[in-house]
Structure 1
Amino acid sequence: MQISFRNIKDRVAILVNGKNLGTICDMFFSDLKVEGFQIQKNVVFGICTNIFVFAKDIESINQELLIATKIVSHINMASFVKAQEILFKEVITEDGFLMGIVNDILFDSVNFEILGYEISPSIWSYIKNKKIILNPEEIILRENKILS
């Protein structure tokens, strides 16, 4: 099943025993595969903490809920790209023309492969909900821009 990151952001994450973990706040991936999710735990004394769930430890995920078998408290994010880092970034063609902005990331809920990047050609297109879907193979991630 295809899932949109923007649809699951801020949705509930729980353990298989029913314990509420918090809400999904980010997704991290490498190349063509989602590696896991960052979960924001409930606020205690005004302090938010984050935990992480790797894709291999997800029992089930859909548009409403993430169910995990295991969590980790720290990971090295250096080798991953975070969804929040590329959403609303510009997509530039090889010729240097602005194609649009990244609006969403689509992935498969079973094998966690990235299926595509949803691009809005302009801010007006974003408002009117017009989209272009680019395959992951068509994207090169750079620090401030995304090349297609």
Structure 2
Amino acid sequence: MRGGLRGAQMRAYERLYDPPPLACRWRMSRLFWLPTGGQTVVLRTHRLEIVHNGSRPARCARVSVYPMDEHLDPRRSQYRRLEVWISSPRLSALVAPYGRWTPLRIAMVGRGAWSVSAVPKHQAGLWLAAHLLEEREGALIEPVELE
């Protein structure tokens, strides 16, 4: 058998990449995440780069994110860490200041318009999770000893 799709394959890239997590898509060999509706997440931005997001080169953010979506089954994938890109340049610019783990509410407020706000401090559970993530990552970085 030569070329073509195999089995239940619908597109050529499916044989190269694993099925993406919810709200994620493979574009240009990168995993892009786009929140659906209003969503609460614990997010950390690593960097901004100009990458091709599937339609054009754009300034995209590389983030680590824990989606806290109440619509997902908690036994399956509620507490999953995603290392992804954000394809929207506007949303990338809004999450760029959050270089530390921060609980955020992300909502689409119009066509292509985003609203990003930090969760109020009185919701201590999410802020405690962000603090523990920050401490755990700080503990993983080993100091370099100069000789």
Q: Which has the higher strand share?
A: 1
TM beyond 0.5 = no
Q: TM-score, normalised by structure 1?
A: 0.26
